[in-house]
Every structure is written in C-alpha cells, then in structure tokens.
Amino acid sequence: MLYHSTRNKNLSVTGAEAIAQGIAADGGLFVPESIPELTAADFDALKGLSYAERAARLFSLYLTDFTGEELRECTHHAYESGSFETPNVQEITTLADGSMLLELWHGPTCAFKDMALQILPHFLTRSIKKTGIDREVVILTATSGDTGKAALAGFQDVPGTRIMVFYPEDGVSSMQKRQMQTQEGENVCVCAVKGNFDDCQNGVKAIFTDPDMQKALADHGMQFSSANSINWGRLVPQIVYYVSAYVTMLEKGLLENGQRFALTVPTGNFGNILAAWYAKQMGVPIRHLVCASNINKVLTDFIDTGVYDRRRDFHATVSPSMDILISSNLERLLYHMTGEDDAQIRAWFTALKENGSYQIPVELRNRIQAEFSGSFWNDEATKAMIGRVFAENGYLSDTHTAVGICAARDYTANAPEQSPMLIASTANPYKFGAAVLEAIGGDTNADEYEILDRLQAKSGMQIPKALAELKTKKVRFSDVVAQDQMPAFVKEKLGIA
Ligand SMILES: *Cc1c(COP(=O)(O)O)cnc(C)c1O
C-alpha cells in the first residue's frame, strides 16, 4: 500500500514514510492509494479475537511495509500493557432508548485520543528506523489541553523517543494542568508559556523550522517529529475501533450480519468521523454518518451549504476539544470524493489559507449529504442532554458525547428509515467534571478534586484512577518561559546547548 499527498497524487510514499513525515512537503495530507475492503468472512474472522489482535490484522491492510510481528508488538505495547482500564479497550453501552454508546475513553488520560496516541509512538519509532534513519525522535507539541497529555502518556518511557510539551500558562483547565505537571517518565518534559495557545504553537513552529536548531539536533543524533492529529498514524487506529465495534455488536447480538446502522460522531477536526467514513468504505454497514458540532458549527454549515468559511467568531464552549474552526481532515474526504482531484484540492485549500473560505460544487455537496448530515448544539442543550440521559439511565455522559447524543436523537426523530444508532463517546465525564456536575444539578462551587468527589457521590460512577491519583502526585514540572525563551529551553533540556 502506497500513500499519496492530497495535493499531489504523483507523490508516493510507504506507510512508514507517511508516518515519519507526518505531513507531505507540499502541505497536503497522506492518503492511501486504495481503501481495503472486508468481506463477511473477514468480519467473521475477527470475532473472538482480542482488541490488540484485531487491530494488528487491520493495520496489516494499511501498513503493508510492516511485518505482522512488528504490528503485533505495537498493538501489544499499546493495548495489552495495562494502560487501558478495561481488557476490551473499548466498551459498548446501550441506553434505554436503544441507542448505543461506543466508549473510547478507557485509556490512561480518559479521552479517546489515547486510542491512537498509545500506539503512535511505536509506529513512529519503527517508521523512522525503516526510512533508514536511526536517530532519537524528539516530539515537540503545543497543546490546549487533551492532546498534550495523551501524547505525554503515549511517549512516556518509549525507547528512542523524547517528548516536550508546551501549554499556555493560563489557557488550560486546572485539572489539565495537573495532569501534565505530574507526568511521569524519564523522557518527558512539560513547560508553561506566558501567553495564549497561539503563542505556544508559534513558538513550537519556529523551533521546528529553524535550520540551526535542526542541525544542532542532527549533530547529537536526534531529530524532531510531531504527534499531530493529521498524521496517518493517528487516523488508522481510529478506523480500527469502528471496524472492531461492528464486530463486537455482531458478537453481542446487537446487530445482525450486514445490518445497517447509523453512526454519530462529535467532531471538530473531522478526524474521528473521517475514520468512520473509511470504515464504511471498508464494508462496515453504516447507513448514515451524523456529524455533531457545538456552536463552532463550521462543519454543519459546510454540509448544509457546500461553503466552508472559517471567517467567523470563535466560541469557547463546555466541549472545548471541539472548539475548532479549521477541520483539517476534511481535505482527505474531499480528495477521495472528487475522484482524487489533487489540482482541485490544491485550489480549495489555497483559497482557505488565503481568503478563509472555499465552495464545492452542488453535485459534490449532494453526494456528501447522501452520506453525512450535521447539526450543532449550544451549551444549554448539551447540559440539558447530560441531565436527561442521567435521569433516564443513571448514566453520565461527558460534554462532547452529549453533543453527539443531541445530534443522534434529532437525526433519529427525523430519519426516513429507522435503524440502530451508535454514538461515539469521546471522554470520561470526570474529565469535564464541573460542567457535568452542574448538568445533573450538583453544586459546583468547589475545587477540582471536590468536584470529582461530589460527582461520584451523586452518580455512583467510580472516579477514574488516573484522575483520582493526581491529588497525591508530585508536581514535576513548574517551568514557565516566554515565547522567545523556548528555543534556549529546548536546547538546555536536550543537553545540546
Ligand atoms: C479531540 C476530541 C474531540 C474531537 O475529535 P476530532 O479529532 O476533532 O474528531 C472530541 N471529543 C473529545 C473529548 C476530544 O478530546
């Protein structure tokens, strides 16, 4: 299997090269030259296997330059080394209205990003070796919260890697700050930056692209890499969990062989829902994809009108991991759905960069609407849904998942045909405890740990170990630097000053 750039299909690289490079030199995203298809017998063959075993088999269809043994090593490290709270890795819960929740947050940082970031470091170190370079990988990440922690947990003590995470001093929640400051591992480093997320991001970009810095690293046998969400190595593990979820639904008798179901995904960057679309192309019988957004509704507008327009106000919401105005992974969908028209993709994404918008033809918009619909929900609707789901089921859903449940119920109420509904559940409710506690009528006038306790007392749901532990963990990282001090900080911590 080779990979092309969405902006130049004459560019061909192997899976290892796509993962090692992250993004194509022309600014495009790597896409597989074809999408493997699974037969009913292939799905049958996945029954009864562990998650790690299923994942290794599915990865072998996309990462053909890895041996079966290498892939099995990767999935073993990621999914069988005790970092997930449940041996199944993912769980499916059925609500009273018959809809099903695909819980993707049983990993070490309590959000679905663990599903990919627990395995990416293993793909990355092997990919870099395969491309003929044998250097230590230095991951540099700017984060507004969830990604940084998931990346730290994924790279913690992975041989051949180091990771440095920068976050805005006053731009993350106190729980998120705690999660990062207490991170364990010999190869990790965390630092706050005076400024906002953009300052962090700009500082990291400047270090990445500084030739002197690159040379200094190379002289010491190191090279920079990124754990960015557009890396194919993060998307392919997400395809796996949708395929695996279908097999599990068959095993549990929640679906019959080949029975079609609707799937709702709360998304911002279009990554998680694009993975579901790939799973559909592979043969998972998904009737319809529902794209759920908060009031940063750029995707809802795009699906409805065919116009993508990021020139709009940014809103901070109770579902902050979907507060996104540039949905990078849409580029991959458009590449596939235009019949791999790389020149057209180049034109649209140049327009997005230069003018802030692009418009697709009506014919393409109609085809997208045949597969996807979108809706958006404000904070009041989100919190009301958390309250309703709790009242009906005694089940706590996080704010992002609740946006998905709103969209799923709205879709089902108006759908032309009834079919089972699966909803991607993206975070443990304790991760966004204050909003969740408020939604079920609790008093939120308390610190972050008291909020966890109150939520547990009210719901009976166990506080996840990873969050409960934070209270007693030692703060290991309390450095704060200005943006212009970041390069010196990086050199000092890498011991190459
Ligand atoms: C990152 C994140 C999302 C959005 O994921 P996309 O990659 O934008 O699809 C949704 N929910 C939670 C909890 C997240 O951390």
Quick check: CB of 425 below 6 Å from ligand 1?
no
Give yes or no for residue 271 CB within 6 A of ligand 1: yes
Q: How far is the CA of 1 from the centre of ligand 1 (A)?
A: 28
Q: What is the pLDDT along the chain (497 residues), one digit of tens a residue?
A: 999 999 999 999 999 999 998 889 898 999 999 999 999 999 999 999 999 999 999 999 999 999 999 999 999 999 999 999 999 999 999 999 999 999 999 999 999 999 999 999 999 999 999 998 888 999 999 887 788 999 999 999 999 999 999 999 987 877 889 999 999 999 999 999 998 887 888 899 889 888 999 999 999 999 888 888 889 999 999 999 999 999 999 999 999 999 999 999 999 999 999 999 999 999 999 999 999 999 999 999 999 999 999 999 989 899 988 988 889 999 999 999 999 999 999 999 999 999 999 999 999 999 999 999 999 999 999 999 999 999 999 999 999 999 999 999 999 999 988 999 999 999 999 999 999 999 999 999 999 899 999 999 999 999 999 999 999 999 999 999 999 999 999 999 999 98
Token pair of 473, please? 């963990």
Most informative mutation of 29, 104, 110, 113 for ligand 1 (most atoms within 8 A of CB) = 113
- How far is the C-alpha of 333 from the C-alpha of 368, rounded, in Å? 9
Ligand 1 atom 7: residue of nearest CA: 271
In a domain, 414, yes or no: yes
Choosing from 105, 110, 112 the residue with most ligand 1 atoms within 8 A of its CB, the one to mutate for a pocket test is 112
Partners of residue 153 on adjacent β-strands: none
* Domain count within the chain: 1
Tell me whether residue 267 is in a domain: yes
Instruction: Indicate the SS3 state at residue 32.
Output: strand
- Tell me the backbone φ, ψ of residue 67, rounded to 5 degrees: -80, 160
pLDDT at 143: 86
Ligand 1 pocket member 427 (CB < 6 A) = yes
Q: Can you tell me the distance from the alpha carbon of 336 to that of 434, in angstroms, rounded to the nearest whole number?
A: 40
Measure 383 CA to ligand 1 centroid, in angstroms: 18
297: helix, strand or coil: coil
Assess if residue 492 is contained within a domain.
Answer: no
The answer as to whether 128 is a domain residue is no
User: Judging by DSSP bridges, how do beta strands 100-103 and 421-425 pair with one another?
Assistant: parallel
Say if ligand 1 is within 6 A of residue 321 CB: yes
- Token digits for 386? 């958390």
CB contact at 8 A, 235 and 331: no
Q: Which two tokens stand for residue 356?
A: 């802030």
Strands 286-293, 261-266: parallel, antiparallel or unpaired by DSSP? Answer: parallel
268 CA → ligand 1 middle, Å = 6
154 Cβ closer than 6 Å to some ligand 1 atom: no
111 lines ligand 1 (CB under 6 A): yes
CATH number, domain containing residue 412: 3.40.50.1100
Q: Considering the domain boundaries, does residue 344 fall inside one?
A: yes
Structure tokens at 156: 């913690």
Helix (H) or strand (E) holding 11: strand 8-13
Query: H or E element: which one contains 27?
Result: none
Report CA(146)–ligand 1 centroid distance (Å): 9
Q: CB count, 10 Å around CB of 257?
A: 9
Position in ligand 1 atom list of the atom nearest CA 272: 9
- What residue has token string 């908060």? 294
Range of 412's domain? 91-109+233-434
Tokens representing 332?
């991959």
Residue nearest to atom 1 of ligand 1 (CA): 321
For 114-218, strand residue ranges (E) read 136-142, 161-168, 188-193
End-to-end CA distance of the chain: 41
Half-sphere exposure of 55 (CA within 13 A, CB side): 30
Q: Which atom of ligand 1 is nearest to the CA of 274?
A: 9
Look at residue 347 and tell me if it is in a domain. yes
The answer to whether the beta carbons of residues 62 and 234 sit under 8 Å apart is no
Task: Tell me the residue type at 454.
Answer: R
425 C-alpha to ligand 1 centroid (Å) = 10
Domain membership of residue 257 (yes or no) is yes
436 in ligand 1 pocket by Cβ < 6 Å?
A: no
pLDDT tens-digit profile of 235-284? Answer: 999 999 999 999 999 999 999 999 999 999 999 999 999 999 999 999 99
Whether residue 384 lies inside any domain: the answer is yes
Cβ-Cβ contacts under 8 Å for 339 (sequence gap 6 or more):
none
pLDDT score for 69:
98
> According to DSSP H, which parts of 252-378 are helical?
271-282, 298-305, 330-337, 342-355, 362-371
